[in-house]
Structure 1
Amino acid sequence: MKITGKFAVLLGCVASIAISQPAFAEIEETNLRLAHVVNENDGFHAAATRFQELVAERSDGKISVEVFPNATLGDERTLLEGMQIGTVDMGVITNGPVSNFLEDMAVFEMPFLFPSAEKAYEVLDGPIGQELLDRLSEVNLKGLAYAERGFRNLTNSERPINSPADVQGLKVRVMENPVYIDTFRELGADAIPMAWTEALTAMQQGTIDGQENPVNVVHSFQLNETQTNMTMTRHSYAPAIFVMSLPVWNNLSEEAQEIVLQSAQEAAEYERELNAEQESQQLEELRASGMNVIDDADLSAFSEAVAPVYVKYGERFGDYLPRIQEALR
């Protein structure tokens, strides 16, 4: 007999409850410690708290997430090393430090590779990006989803930057990542790799002239107080990764793993949308504070100047770079 109407809907709801209750029964009470190195105004924190909410909701409160911002559990390298041995559960980590553990991840940050955020998302959420997330298991990590740091821009305290010639001799902090180091050396900078917490102190003390990061970082850390100029170079797109300790992941039930995986992807997409919505307002506020924002620099000259980076790294990442370039055509 075929059942239709309101009774059928009611039966469907009962069936759904019957299915969900055993699923919850498979989930043990779990607390996950999620760490990141930036402050509570940053997109990473928004992604972390959104993940916290989604996991609690989907697990009926059985999985709780405790968020540790401001590098309270260590810098990004320290957090990743902790995840490898299971002393840190998970984090939202900039792609640059992750690539020190799996070098091929650095392919995403080749200079001037992605023409837009939307094109970056297509690659990251597609087969290439997912393949590299899965390969983090080779270094005892579990890649969950790509949030973002975003398109990076150059700031400095010395002078306006309109062309590569203006970069000559500037002491610029870069992430501890060979692609970034070589990119800025090709531009003529004295590229100085250091952890972000150290960079903040170095800018305040004037021991470095500049740094490169997306608008959201410049805004949330009020870098306008030490950096008088920002050039919208958009020289590299930096993903960020929801990454987890593989030992911790393996201790979760399949039901809990599915909740964590889905929640990480949705929290990542939430943070991407938030960054896009906030950037124009953040730029206005930085300009209003007196920061000189240069949005008409000769980007073609910058792109030409870093061409040797493609020569050096063209085969470093196996076939990932040509695959990405083909996907972007």
Structure 2
Amino acid sequence: MAAGSAAMADIPSTSLRLAHVVNSDDTYHLAAERFQEILDEQSDGAVSVEIFPNASLGDERTLLEGMQIGTVDMGVITNGPVANFVDEFSVFELPFLFPTAEAAYDVLDGEIGQEILGKLEGVNLKGLAFAERGFRNITNSRNPINEPADLDGLRLRVIENEVYVDTFRTLGANAVPMAWTEALTALQQGTIDGQENPINAIYAFNLAETQDYLTMTRHIYAPALFVMSLPKWNALPEEVQTLVQDAAVEASAYARAQNAEAQAEQLAALEAAGMEINESPDIEAFREAVAPIYEQYGQQFGDYLPRIQEALE
């Protein structure tokens, strides 16, 4: 213990500002808090983390741009916006790519995922670990959805990412890309009919207040990332870099476990709040309908798609 304390005494006092765009009930915030706790414990308080939730420092694109120039230290960011900075991240957004969360973890935490994570350094960002947004599902206020035809003309908010936009336009929806902060207002005002997100976000943002129907399409598995400003990372002493890296990996695993544990309870709460939930839509019909997306994007990510498909066999 004495030796450990002496080692901790050598760690310089370091403060980090971590931002995200969701509220304190969301998995991102739980991951951020766990990251904060781990660093405090492992550094004997030398490394502190201040958390800025609710898009208080800007939307996800703004946060990433801030990290590039060093005005934001780090954040928990959805994979889709990250893909606007490094195209290869979009390969994870291909619809119905991952059959289970465990299959996604194997790819993300393995050679392929870590290779893509490393590409962030080319755009002045540092990828630390893959956390989780989760399998995305459709909610709307217009009608029940069981097959692609039910999406016809539905004004559906999607992440500002071309794979999302093209996927839902292929399915017949009127896909409207917008930041999440804008989407919440648009849902309340009825200027859009629906959105797609994992159960944790649907629950955390009380979407049962504006959305009558939830369809468990599980159409895309969306990672989230612990991302840091590369200038900030490079300015950290090596021992602090190690602590930060390890804390991000551990906090990401914690977020995944929390998601899995909470989902049944969250679904029950959404149903109790009045949502009509379709737990078994015609997934095969959706899968067949998005085949053109693989034709369109299959070659765009170099050899990453075939490598992922081979890893999943």
For the aligned pair, the TM-score class normalised by the smaller chain equals: over 0.9
Is structure 2 residue 279 aligned with structure 1 residue 295? Answer: yes
User: What residue is the counterpart of 1:230 in the other structure?
Assistant: 214
Structure 1 counterpart of 2:118, from 126, 134, 142:
134
Q: How far does residue 22 in structure 1 lie from its aligned partner after superposition?
A: 5.5
**Matching residue of 1:3:** none
1:303-318 correspondence runs (5 A): 303-318=287-302
1:123 to 92, 107, 110: 107
> Partners of 1:295 and 1:320 in 2: how far apart?
31
Equivalent position SS for 2:224: strand
Q: What corresponds to 2:71 in structure 1? A: 87
Q: Which amino acid in structure 2 is aligned with residue 303 of structure 1?
A: R
Task: Please state whether the residue corresponding to 1:242 is helix, strand or coil.
Answer: strand
- TM-superposed deviation, 1:23: 3.7
Residue 163 of structure 1, aligned match among 140, 147, 152: 147
Task: Letter of the 2:300 partner, please give it.
Answer: R
**What letter matches 1:132 in structure 2?**
I
Is contact 1:163-1:302 (8 Å) kept? yes
Q: Deviations over 1:228-257 (max 9, x none)?
A: 001000000000000000000001111000
Give 1:9-20 correspondences, 5 Å limit: 17-18=2-3, 20=4
- Which residue is 1:31 aligned to? 15
Q: 1:189-220 CA deviation, whole Å, 9 max, x = no partner?
A: 01000000000000000000010000010101
Give 1:134 shift: 1.1
Contact 1:26 1:253 in 2 (8 A): no
2:26 match: 42
**2:127 aligned partner:** 143
Equivalent pairs: percent with the same residue? Answer: 66
1:143 is displaced (CA, Å) by: 0.3
* Length-normalised TM-score, structure 1: 0.94
1:99 maps to a residue whose letter is A
Aligned to 1:179: 163
Residue 27 of structure 1: how far off its partner (Å): 2.2
- Equivalent of 2:53, from 54, 69, 92? 69
For 1:269, the equivalent position in structure 2 comes to 253
Structure (1 or 2) with the larger CA radius of gyration: 1
Query: Which letter does structure 1 place at the counterpart of 2:177?
Result: P
Partners of 2:6 and 2:203 in 1: CA distance: 46
Distance in 2 (CA, whole Å) between partners of 1:57 and 1:220 is 28
Q: C-alpha offsets along residues 22-70 of structure 1, whole Å, 9 cap, x if unaligned?
A: 6434421111000000000000000000000000111111100000000
Residues of 1 paired with 2:194 and 2:180: CA distance? 12
Partners in 1 of 2:44 and 2:230 — Cα distance?
24
CA–CA distance in structure 2, aligned partners of residues 127 and 159 of structure 1? 42
3-state secondary structure, aligned to 1:217? helix
Gaps of 5+ in 2: none
The 3-state SS of whatever aligns with 1:293 is strand
Q: What is the one-letter code of the residue matched to 1:231?
A: T
**One-letter code of the match for 1:109?**
E
Query: Are the counterparts in 2 of residues 23 and 255 from structure 1 also a CA contact under 8 Å?
Result: no
User: Which of 254, 264, 275 is residue 280 of structure 1 equivalent to?
Assistant: 264
Question: What is the identity, as a one-letter code, of the residue corresponding to 2:291?
Answer: A
Cα distance in 1 between the residues matched to 2:250 and 2:72: 22
Residue number in structure 2 paired with 1:98: 82
How far residue 295 of structure 1 moved from its aligned partner, in angstroms, is 1.1
Q: Between Structure 1 and Structure 2, how many residues are aligned? A: 313
User: Could you tell me how far apart the structure 1 residues matched to 2:228 and 2:145 are?
Assistant: 39
2:209 aligned partner, one-letter code: E
Match of 1:258 among 242, 247, 261: 242
Q: Distance in 2 between matches of 1:21 and 1:156?
A: 54
Equivalent position SS for 1:297: coil
* DSSP 3-state at the match of 1:233: coil
Counterpart Cα distance in 2 of 1:23 and 1:200: 47
Provide the C-alpha distance between the structure 2 equivalents of 1:145 and 1:192, rounded to a whole number of angstroms: 29
Q: Which residue of 2 aligns with 1:243?
A: 227
Task: Give the secondary structure class of the aligned counterpart of 2:274.
Answer: coil
In the alignment, does 2:98 pair up with 1:114?
Answer: yes
C-alpha distance after superposition, 1:253-312 (max 9, x if no partner):
110000000000000000000000000000001111110000121000000000000000
